[in-house]
Chains A and B, each alone.
Chain A
Amino acid sequence: MYQFNYKKVETVQEAVNELNANPESKILAGGMTLIPTMKQRLASPEQLIDIRNIKELNFIKEESNNIIIGSTTNHFTVSSSDLIKEKIPSLSMLAEGIGDPHVRNMGTIGGAISNNDPTADYPAACLGLGAKIKTSKRELTADDFFISLFETALEEDEIVISISFPIIKSSFYMKFPNPASRYAMAGVFISKNNSDVRVAVTGASENGVFRWNEMEESLSNNWSKSSVESIKLSSEGIMSDIHGSSEYRANLANIMAIRAFEGINE
């Protein structure tokens, strides 16, 4: 790992000031992606701004039919929250499936979505539930937040404050985890809010998480298993690597969609 400066901050304003003062800085939240990346010398920021101790970013609350989660809340806290288990069980299940227990004790929801790894789980929940993301500058819909592979709408001096998930009980997430990393080989999040159906896919596309429009339409027209089965994801633009071909991944997404649908209707 290359040398860097380290700055622990106590407030959001302090973090933003540091980002402005040194544009070659990176925000360190849980560090479960950033530190391994720096160890491999794939990243070499001049300064790390450690936001893990900003108290105002670590919370879970319910507010006008939404569950709002502060950005430095770790995966274990989300998966074990009684409030989330009761209101959006699909979200606690998703958090419980990230990495392993030791990683879940450190990794944060804000870090996961800001990194926008194309195989990460949380981006699927954000898109699949229609979450709103509050940053130090503005509020963005999940649709506007996730741009492409490891790319978000966040500006250089902007950090995520919280994520607001609408309470939609009829929702489910199913992924086929890579047996080594537990990252999604393909993961599908489905939610149904009256007639509004959202379907998000992670782990599959070369451009990162996306909404599966054909599947949404099919399920909006007719909420049935046959509707899910009638839609097949094209393998065009789907990732292909040592873990699986694009055809294999596209088929996995089809299967995960069926299982997620069944999960909602159980």
Chain B
Amino acid sequence: MSLVELEINGNKVSQDVEERQLLVHFIRDDLNLTGTHVGCDTSQCGACVVHVDGKAVKSCSMLAVQANNSKITTIEGLADGENLHPVQEAFRENHGLQCGFCTPGMIMAAVDIINRNSILDEKTVREELEGNLCRCTGYQNIVKSIIAASEKM
């Protein structure tokens, strides 16, 4: 076992973990933050995307021990109390989700995309979503949501 100390959504966490535990399982099973999803478990779908030290990563392809001393944000950490984050709000307004399974990863990826790109057009958003899959194929409205959110942020 190894001690992992990190900050997640502003809360400090200190816990022993098995070295082989994936970050996503640490987040979901140990910390009960089940908004982050396990989709494909093979680094393809992006349902598990969280931010580690401000960078979007696939938490199914990272060990919890690698995240020691980092600052993590998950989907639960975006909203400010009852006020949704602009990207969450845009997904709601633009019907950016159908079944909702990919949504946490889509939104975490979207925040990262908007942070990195001052101007967003449809082509850029579609390219940037390379690592996120929506099995409902609801991409039209996901792209629309991200562009709408980028205009408000």
Contacts and interface: CB of A to CB of B under 8 A. Distances in A.
Interface of A: 1-6, 8, 28, 31-32, 35-36, 38-39, 48, 50, 52, 76, 99-103, 105-106, 180-182
B135 interface: no
A106 B63 contact: no
A36 B62 contact: no
B66 A103 contact: no
Given A32-B43, A103-B43, A6 B61 contact: no
Interface string B12-31: 00000011101000000000
Contacts of A105: 55-57
Nearest to A104: B131
Interface residues of B, number: 28
Interface in B54-80: 55-58, 61-63, 65-66, 68
B57 A52 contact: no
A109 B22 CA distance: 23
Closest 6 pairs between A and B when the two form their complex, measured CB to CB: A100-B131, A100-B130, A6-B19, A105-B55, A1-B20, A102-B131
Most B Cβ at <10 Å: residue of A4, A35, A100, A106: A100
Given A31-B63, A35-B63, A36-B43, A103 B19 contact: no
Contacts of B62: 31, 35, 106
Most B Cβ at <10 Å: residue of A2, A106, A182: A106
Contacts of A103: 43, 58, 61, 131
Given A3-B20, A103-B131, A105-B56, A36 B65 contact: no
A28 B130 CA distance: 25
A181 B133 CA distance: 12
Given A36-B43, A182-B130, A101 B61 contact: no
Contacts of A32: 43, 61
B44 interface: yes
Nearest to B53: A105
A6 B65 contact: yes
Nearest to A1: B20
Given A6-B2, A101-B56, A106 B61 contact: yes
B49 interface: yes
B19 A52 contact: no
Contact of B19 (A4, A39, A102): A4
A7 to B, nearest CB: 10
B46 interface: yes
A101 B58 contact: no
A76 B63 CA distance: 20
Contacts of A106: 57-58, 61-62
Contact of A5 (B19, B41, B55): B19
B109 A101 contact: yes
Contacts of A180: 44
A138 B71 CA distance: 37
B128 interface: yes
A36 B109 CA distance: 21
A99 B131 contact: yes
A101 B131 contact: yes
A174 B113 CA distance: 25
A1 B41 CA distance: 12
